[in-house]
Chains A and B, each alone.
Chain A
Amino acid sequence: MDQLLSVLIPAALIVGALGAWRRVRLWRQGRPAAVNLLQGMLRMPRRYLVDLHHVVARDRYIAHTHVATAGGFVAAMALAIVVHVLGVENVVMAGLLGLAGLTMLVGTLFVARRRLEPPARLSKGAWQRLPKSLMAFSLGMLLVSLPLGGLVPEGAASVLTTLVLGVLVGWGLLELVVGMGWGGPMKHAFAGAAHLAFHRRPERFSDVSGEGRHPGSRSTALLPLDLDSEQAPGSEQSMGVARPDEFGWQQLLGFDACVQCGRCEAACPAHAAGQPLNPKKLIQDMVIGMAGGSDAHYAGTPYTGQTTGEHGGAPGERIVPQLVEPETLWSCTTCRACVEECPMMIEHVDAIVDMRRFLTLEDGATPEKGAVALDNLIATDNPGGFDNASRLDWAADLELPRIRERPEGVDVLLWLGDGAFDMRNQRTLRSLVTVMRAAGVDFAVVGEEERDSGDLARRLGDEATFQQLARQNIATLSQYRFARIVTCDPHSFHVLGREYPDFGGHYRVLHHSGLLAELIDEQRLQLAPAASGSSLTWHDPCYLGRYNGEFEAPRRVLRALGMEVREMARSGHRSRCCGGGGGAALTDVPGKQRISDMRMGDARDTGAEVVAVGCPQCTAMLEGVVEPGPQVLDLAELVARALVVSEHNSSTLREPQEEVPA
Chain B
Amino acid sequence: MAYETLLKPIQIGNLTIRNRVVSTAHAEVCATEGGMTTDRYVRYYEEKAKGGCGLCICGGSSPVSIDSPQQWWSSVSIATDEIVPHFRNLSEAVHRHGGKIMIQITHMGRRSRWDGFNWPHLLSPSGIREPVHRATCKTIEEEEIHRVIDDFAQAARRVKEGGLDGIELSAVHQHLIDQFWSPRVNKRTDQWGGSFENRMRFGMEVLKAVRAEVGDDFCVGMRICGDEFHPDGLGHEDMKQIAAWYDATGMLDFFGVVGSGCDTHDTLANVIPNMSYPPEPFLHLAGGIREVVSVPVIHAQNIKDPTQANRILEGGHVDLVGMTRAHIADPHLIAKIKAGEPDRIRQCVGANYCIDRQYQGLDVLCIQNAATSREYMGLPHEIERSDGPPRRVVVVGGGPGGMEAARVAAERGHSVTLFEIEPQLGGQITIAARAPSRDQIAGITRWYEMELARLGVDLKLGTRADDAMIRDLQPNVVILANGGNSFTDQVPEWGATDGLAVSSWDILRGTVEPGRNVLVYDTTCEFAGMSVADYLASHGAQVEIVTDDTKPGVAVGGTTFPTYYRSLYEKSVVMTGDLGLQKVYREGESLVALLENEYTGEQEERVIDQVVIENGVRPDETLYYALKPRSRNHGQLDLEAFYAARPQPCLAHDEGDYALFRIGDCVSPRNTHAAIYDALRLCKDL
> Cβ of A396 and Cβ of B18 under 8 Å apart?
yes
CA–CA, A411 and B620, complex, Å: 69
The contact of A397 among B40, B93, B99, by CB within 8 Å, is: B99
Which of A386, A394, A423 contacts B340, CB < 8 Å?
A: A423
Instruction: Please name all residues of chain B whose beta carbon is closer than 8 Å to the beta carbon of A661 when the two chains form the complex.
Output: 32, 34, 36-38, 86
Count of chain A residues near B, Cβ 8 A: 26
Alpha-carbon distance A276/B133, docked complex (angstroms) = 76
A-facing residues in B376-407 (Cβ within 8 Å): 376-378
Q: Does B2 interact with chain A (Cβ within 8 Å)?
A: yes
Return the CB mask of B42-84 against A: 1 if under 8 Å, else 0: 1100100000000000000000000000000000000000000
Docked-complex contact B18 and A397, CB < 8 angstroms = yes
B40 contacts A656, CB within 8 Å? yes
State which of A421, A423, A648 has its C-beta within 8 Å of the C-beta of B3: A423
Is B338 part of the contact surface with A, judged by Cβ < 8 Å?
A: yes
Q: Which residues of A contact B36 (CB under 8 A)?
A: 661
Min distance, Cβ A655 to any Cβ of chain B, angstroms: 8
Q: How far is the CA of A423 from the CA of B8 in the complex (A)?
A: 12
Contact A397 B98 (CB under 8 A): yes
A649 at the A/B interface (Cβ < 8 Å)? Answer: yes
Looking at A396, A421, A660, the one whose CB has the most chain B CB atoms below 10 A away is: A396
Q: Does A398 contact B (CB under 8 A)?
A: yes
Q: How far is the CB of A624 from chain B (nearest CB, A)?
A: 11
Structural contact, A423 and B38, CB atoms closer than 8 A = no
Q: Which residues of A contact B9 (CB under 8 A)?
A: 393, 396
Which residues on B sit within 8 Å (CB–CB) of A656? 39-40, 376-377
Cβ contact within 8 Å between B17 and A386: no
CB-based contact A396/B19 at 8 Å:
yes
B18 — which chain A residues lie within 8 A by C-beta? 396-397
The answer to the question of B96 belonging to the interface, with a C-beta cut-off of 8 Å to chain A, is: yes
| Interchain CB contact (< 8 A) of A422 among B1, B34, B40 | B1
CB distance from A438 to the nearest CB of B (A): 15
Within 8 Å by CB of B376, from A421, A653, A659, lies A653
**Given A422-B1, A651-B42, A653-B378, residue A658 in contact with residue B37 (CB < 8 A):** no
B16 at the interface (CB under 8 A from A): yes
Q: Which of A390, A651, A653 has the most CB of B within 10 A?
A: A651
Q: Which of A605-662 contact B (CB under 8 A)?
A: 648-649, 651, 653-654, 656-662
Distance A423 CA – B97 CA, assembled complex (angstroms): 18
Once the chains are docked, how many angstroms separate the CA of A656 from the CA of B42?
Answer: 12
User: Smallest CB–CB gap between A15 and chain B, Å?
Assistant: 66
Q: Which residues of B contact A421 (CB under 8 A)?
A: 1
B contact residues around A662 at 8 Å (CB): 37-42, 86, 89
With a CB–CB cut-off of 8 A, which chain A residues contact B97?
A: 397
The reply to whether B32 and A659 contact each other, CB–CB distance below 8 Å, is yes
Q: Does B683 contact A (CB under 8 A)?
A: no
The reply to whether B86 and A423 form a contact with Cβ atoms under 8 Å apart is no
Is A406 an interface position by the 8 A CB rule? no
Residue of B nearest to A392 (CB): B9
**A386-B1, A662-B89 are known contacts. Are A423 and B338 too (CB-CB below 8 A)?**
yes
| CB within 8 Å for A396 and B1 given contacts A424-B340, A660-B39, A661-B38 | no
Q: What is the CA–CA distance of A662 and B41 in the complex, to the nearest angstrom?
A: 8
B7 touches A393 (CB 8 A): yes
Closest to B49 in A: A397
B584: interface (CB < 8 Å): no
Q: How far apart sit A659 and B41, CA to CA, in the bound complex (Å)?
A: 12
Contact residues of A: prevailing secondary structure: loop
Report chain A residues within 8 Å CB of B46. 651
> Contacting B96 at CB < 8 Å: which of A393, A398, A424, A649?
A649
Chain A proximity of B247: nearest CB distance (Å): 25
Q: Could you say which residues of chain B place their CB within 8 Å of the CB of A396?
A: 9, 16-19, 98
In this assembly, does B30 line the interface, its C-beta being within 8 Å of a C-beta of chain A?
yes
A426 contacts partner chain B, Cβ-Cβ < 8 Å? yes
The yes or no answer to B468 lying at the interface (CB within 8 A) is: no
Q: Does B339 count as interface, using CB distance less than 8 angstroms?
A: yes
CB-nearest residue of chain A to B74: A658
A95 within 8 A of B: no
Residues of A within 8 A of B339 (CB): 427
Residue contact A398 to B42, C-beta cutoff 8 Å: no
A residues less than 8 Å from B89 (CB atoms): 662
Chain A residues contacting B1 (CB-CB under 8 Å) are: 384, 386, 421-423
What residue of chain A has the Cβ atom nearest to residue B374's Cβ? A656
Considering only CB atoms, which chain A residue lies closest to B19 in the complex?
A396
Within the complex, what minimum Cβ distance (angstroms) separates A649 from chain B?
Answer: 7
A14 to B277, CA, bound (A): 96
Residues of A within 8 A of B34 (CB): 661
Identify the interface centre among A384, A421, A423, A424: most chain B CB within 10 Å of its CB. A423
B 338-378 binary contact with A (CB < 8 Å = 1; else 0): 11100000000000000000000000000000000000111
Cβ contact within 8 Å between B340 and A651: no
CA distance A649 to B2 in the complex (A): 29
A residues 93-109 with Cβ under 8 Å of B?
A: none
Cβ-closest chain A residue relative to B92: A651
A448 smallest CB distance to B (angstroms): 12
Complex formed: what's the CA distance from A656 to B646 in Å?
13
B8 touches A393 (CB 8 A): yes
Residues in A with CB closer than 8 Å to B338 are 423, 426-427
A651 CA / B376 CA spacing, docked (Å): 10
Cα(A384)–Cα(B2), bound, Å:
12
Shortest CB distance B118–A (Å): 19
What B residues does A398 contact at CB under 8 A?
Answer: 98
Residue on B with the closest CB to A424? B340
A371 → chain B closest CB, angstroms: 21
Note all chain A residues with C-beta closer than 8 A to B42. 651, 662
Q: Which residue of A lies closest to B378 (CB)?
A: A653
**In chain B between 89 and 113, which residues have their CB closer than 8 angstroms to a CB of chain A?**
89, 93, 96-99
Note all chain B residues with C-beta closer than 8 A to A649: 96
Say how far B364's CB is from chain A's closest CB, in angstroms: 13
Most chain B beta carbons < 10 A, residue from A651, A659, A662: A662
Contacts of A659 in B (CB 8 A): 32-33, 38
Q: Contact: A651 with B377, CB < 8 Å?
A: no
- For the complex, give the distance between the alpha carbons of A657 and B86 in Å: 15
B378 to chain A, nearest CB (A): 6
How far, in whole Å, are A153 and B2 apart by their CA atoms in the complex? 89
A394 and B86 contact, Cβ closer than 8 Å, known pairs A651-B93, A653-B376 = no
Q: CA of A658 to CA of B46 in the docked complex: distance in angstroms?
A: 17
B100, chain A: closest CB distance, angstroms: 8
A659 CA / B34 CA spacing, docked (Å):
9
Q: Which residues of A contact B3 (CB under 8 A)?
A: 423
With both chains docked as a complex, state the minimum distance between the C-beta of A610 and any C-beta of chain B, in angstroms.
15
**Chain A residue at smallest Cβ distance from B33:** A659
CA distance A384 to B33 in the complex (A): 54
Closest 8 CB pairs of A and B: A397-B98, A396-B9, A661-B36, A662-B39, A396-B18, A397-B18, A654-B39, A656-B377
Known interface pairs A397-B98, A658-B38, A659-B33; 16 further A-B residue pairs with C-beta atoms within 8 A, sorted by A's residue number: A386-B4, A393-B7, A393-B9, A394-B7, A396-B18, A397-B18, A398-B98, A423-B3, A426-B338, A648-B96, A651-B42, A660-B38, A661-B37, A662-B38, A662-B39, A662-B41
What are 23 pairs between A and B in contact, CB < 8 Å? A386-B1, A393-B7, A393-B8, A396-B9, A396-B17, A396-B19, A396-B98, A421-B1, A423-B7, A651-B42, A653-B376, A654-B39, A656-B40, A658-B38, A658-B40, A659-B33, A659-B38, A660-B39, A661-B36, A661-B38, A662-B39, A662-B42, A662-B89
